[in-house]
Structure 1
Amino acid sequence: MTIIKKFDPEEYSNKFPKKYVVFAVVGILVLSIAQIWVNNTAVSYGEKLESIAKLKSTLEMENTFLENEMASELSLTNIATKSSKLGFSKIESIQYIR
């Protein structure tokens, strides 16, 4: 006696299970939210960087102005006129103390 096993035809199954589709949709959603957050963060840092650059240029201009003012105040002719106003005079002869 021979036993013949009868195979029932399998039902058609999806190539991708439902859980993979759900994971893919959730993953795309998470990545989209992360991309939006990164873009917003980059824009806010760009604005901060722009304001810092403006402040830097303002400080550099002020520094240049102060350097020029300091150079004019410390010139030899200016110091000579201020010293004469204070009563100092040019040395006629140098005396050394031993």
Structure 2
Amino acid sequence: MTTNWVTIAGSVAAFCSMISFVPQAWRIVKSRDTGAISPVMYSFTVAGFALWTLYGIGLGEWPLIVTNSVCLLLASFILLMTLLPQAKKDTMADTVDPDA
């Protein structure tokens, strides 16, 4: 019974972690506004997810690898959009959502 609870809790936590970056990333694509985002905070977030991914690879734990890789990609996109000049940000957003 404990294993089932732990597996369910871990799965829900992984899903919440991965999905939590989607609204921010989508808002950036739609608005092209990253003024309120801290590049320093996202730099640490990206570094953390990169390290967690490496940790998962070292342990051979696919749940850690997959969850943190997805979070790494989304957080890296947000950081990149924060650091890009407006013209390149617009080009990137148009690539992701041409109807924006």
Q: Assess same fold via TM > 0.5.
A: no
Decide which structure has greater helix share.
Answer: 2
TM-score by length of 1: 0.32
State the structure with more CA Rg. 1
Q: TM-score, normalised by structure 2?
A: 0.31
